[in-house]
Amino acid sequence: MKTSKTTSLPWNEALRALQQGRSPLVITHRSPDGDAVGSLLAMGLLLKALGRRPTLACQDPVPTRFHYLPHHQEVVSEVPEGSFDLVISLDCSDRERMGQVYDADRLASLPLLNIDHHVTNLNFGTVNLVVPTAASTTQIIYELVQRLSVPLDVPLATCLLTGLVTDTLAFRTANVTPQVMEIALRLIRAGASLYTIVQRGLVEQPLSALRLLAVGLSRMQVEGHLAWSEVRLADREATGYQGDSDAGLVGRLISAEEIRIAAVFKEVKDGRVEISMRAAPGYDVSGVALRLGGGGHPAAAGCTLNGSLEAAKARVLPLLRAALAEQEDGRHSEH
Ligand code: 5GP
Ligand code: MN
């Protein structure tokens, strides 16, 4: 991150905010993934090392797969009474992503430090430390840890490496640079267990997840280089799968060499549909997600829509078809 491109990033403003806030409220995004939980707990440890007593909040519970992470029990889904003087948002590309734990009536007047790596970030903070070249939000927090000379112990290294490993699918994504590998090496040297993080954070799934995956694969639809599928609420009941993820379905769809863009439509509670999108290298789904009120990275993005599965497909699939056609044209004209 120490390239000329990033020298204008507000590192100093971010450090000042961290040092000035006495009672910070730290929030990560709803439906938390490994980078969300890892960055939340790592920021908690960093703030404690600075002598603060942070409150760590997330609308949804920490998934059991991340229960190897130290202090995961400290994450609250209801923000307690008390006065905060700083809000820190982690891995959220917009304010809405913080979910119900961000109560604007109570918090909007406070300084907001927005730390994120999504290219679609709306810069909604007072200080926006947004680094799209970072492979994970924990990579940005690692840099803050260095700049603040906070010692890297095993718990902190484990939280930081969890974000790096899960967001890069164990160093398999196109944004993995030598610098990412160097940071990972330092975290492993500090005592983080790469094996535990890969196994528990990424690989292991209950049998019910395999059953859900089988249902999702059986519903796969393919149209040229586009593939999609859906997961209904009834499928979760039938398979007994408790989590709210797609059990890895969209990752399987994009792994097909013929597929350039893939999407999974997940029916969730309260009449909403969550859409997970993936793009092969050279293609980009972040623009479509942003247009639909969501966000993400070029290769992995998503959004949440109100209404039925059918309505969501009718709205999203034409945009994905158009993005695919446009991006294929762009690629042909390059050659
Ligand atoms: P996933 O498909 O794994 O849930 O998410 C892929 C990427 O898209 C992640 O970076 C995630 O943060 C982002 N994303 C997924 N759903 C939403 C959403 O509803 N809103 C926003 N802003 N980003 C989302
Ligand atoms: Mn992330």
Question: What is the secondary structure of 191-255 as a DSSP string?
Answer: T--HHHHHIIIII---HHHHHHHHHHHHT-EEETTEEEEEE-HHHHHHHT--SSS-TTHHHHHHT
Counting ligand 1 atoms within 8 A of each CB, the residue from 90, 118, 253 with the most, and so the one to mutate, is: 118
Instruction: Tell which residue, 255, 257, 256, 253, has the closest CA to residue 228.
Output: 253
Domain end point (choices 202, 228, 248): 202
pTM of the model as a whole: 0.96
Is the minimum distance from the CB of 97 to ligand 1 under 6 angstroms?
yes
- The sheet carrying 300-306 orders its strands as 221-223, 226-231, 261-268, 272-279, 300-306, 295-296
Is the minimum distance from the CB of 296 to ligand 1 under 6 angstroms?
yes
Instruction: Specify whether 286 is located in the same domain as 308.
Output: yes
CA distance 295 to 161: 23
- Burial label for 316, CB within 10 Å (0-12, 13-18, 19+), is buried
Please tell me the distance between residue 276's alpha carbon and the centre of ligand 1 in angstroms: 7
CATH code, domain with 143: 3.90.1640.10
Instruction: Specify whether 299 is located in the same domain as 172.
Output: no
Instruction: Specify whether 135 is located in the same domain as 177.
Output: yes
Domain end point (choices 168, 186, 202): 202
Work out whether the CA dihedral 200, 74, 17, 95 comes out positive or negative: positive
Instruction: Specify whether 243 is located in the same domain as 270.
Output: yes
Instruction: Specify whether 195 is located in the same domain as 217.
Output: no
Please tell me the distance between residue 238's alpha carbon and the centre of ligand 2 in angstroms: 31
Counting ligand 1 atoms within 8 A of each CB, the residue from 39, 40, 97 with the most, and so the one to mutate, is: 97
Please tell me the distance between residue 78's alpha carbon and the centre of ligand 2 in angstroms: 23
Indicate whether 103 belongs to any domain. Answer: yes
**Residue 51 has what DSSP assignment?**
T
Indicate whether 1 belongs to any domain. Answer: no
Instruction: Specify whether 185 is located in the same domain as 300.
Output: no
Domain end point (choices 174, 202, 230): 202
Instruction: Specify whether 128 is located in the same domain as 64.
Output: yes
Over residues 157-199, the pLDDT tens digits come to: 999 999 999 999 999 999 999 999 999 999 999 999 999 999 9
Over residues 86-129, the pLDDT tens digits come to: 999 999 999 999 999 999 999 999 999 999 999 999 999 999 99
190: CB partners within 8 A, 6+ apart: 152, 153, 154, 156, 157
Counting ligand 1 atoms within 8 A of each CB, the residue from 102, 136, 274, 276 with the most, and so the one to mutate, is: 276
- For the chain, how many residues are written? 335
Kindly identify the ligand whose nearest atom is closest to the C-alpha of 97.
1
Instruction: Specify whether 110 is located in the same domain as 234.
Output: no
Instruction: Specify whether 123 is located in the same domain as 82.
Output: yes
- Strands 86-90 and 24-28, by their bridges, are parallel
* Ligand 1 atom at shortest distance from the alpha carbon of 120: 22
CA distance 309 to 133: 34
Over residues 213-233, the pLDDT tens digits come to: 999 999 999 999 999 999 999
The answer to whether the CB of 99 falls within 8 A of the CB of 29 is yes
Instruction: Specify whether 190 is located in the same domain as 216.
Output: no
Side chain identity at residue 335, one-letter code: H
Indicate whether 41 belongs to any domain. Answer: yes
Indicate whether 161 belongs to any domain. Answer: yes
Please tell me the distance between residue 136's alpha carbon and the centre of ligand 2 in angstroms: 5
Indicate whether 92 belongs to any domain. Answer: yes
Indicate whether 277 belongs to any domain. Answer: yes
Instruction: Specify whether 102 is located in the same domain as 130.
Output: yes
Helix (H) or strand (E) holding 96: none
Indicate whether 306 belongs to any domain. Answer: yes
- φ/ψ of residue 302, rounded to 5: -165, 170
Q: How many Cα atoms within 13 Å fall on the side-chain side of residue 193?
A: 9
Work out whether the CA dihedral 125, 15, 44, 31 comes out positive or negative: positive
pLDDT band at 6, cuts 50/70/90? very low
Number of domains composing the chain: 2
CATH code, domain with 244: 3.10.310.30
Instruction: Specify whether 81 is located in the same domain as 221.
Output: no
Task: Express as a percent the part of the chain with pLDDT over 90.
Answer: 93
Q: Whose CA is nearest to atom 15 of ligand 1?
A: 302
Residue that has been written with the tokens 């903070």 in this structure: 125
Q: Write out the residue range of the structural domain in which residue 253 sits.
A: 207-334
Q: Whose CA is nearest to atom 18 of ligand 1?
A: 303
Indicate whether 67 belongs to any domain. Answer: yes
